[in-house]
Amino acid sequence: MHEMALCAGLMATIEAQCRQEHAARVHAVYLEIGALAAVDAGALRSCFEVVSHGTVAQGACVEISAPPGEGWCPQCACMVTITSRLEPCPRCAGYPVIIRQGAQMRLVALDVT
């Protein structure tokens, strides 16, 4: 359950931002979790509910966008879109696809008052 460790870090970032911006309450947390990231969005939500309890972000809604992965197919010599590390190239059905993007886990915005 490394989602718990991630949420603890996320919560620390949120609290630091709120102090800096003099925000009293967080209403929404916008996350970007790439399709190839080593994290489960459902578990992340549950963990956030636990770590945010009693904080400025208690009850905040967690919006998660999941951009697809992008990789380079050496056979096709072009970038292709993939949704898992195990997928072959969608054009030529070959392996390997060299992952270039899609493993990111980012906090992109906070809706605060």
Rounded to whole angstroms, the Cα distance separating 52 from 55 reads 5
Rounded to whole angstroms, the Cα distance separating 35 from 45 reads 16
**Interface positions, 39-98, toward another protein (CB under 8 A):** 39, 84-86, 95-96, 98
Kindly state the helix (H) or strand (E) to which residue 97 belongs, with its residue range: none
Q: Which of 56, 73, 82, 112 binds another protein (CB under 8 A)?
A: 112
Q: Which stretch binds another protein (CB under 8 A): 3-11, 52-60, 62-70, 75-83?
A: 3-11
| Nearest distance from C-beta of residue 105 to another protein, angstroms | 4
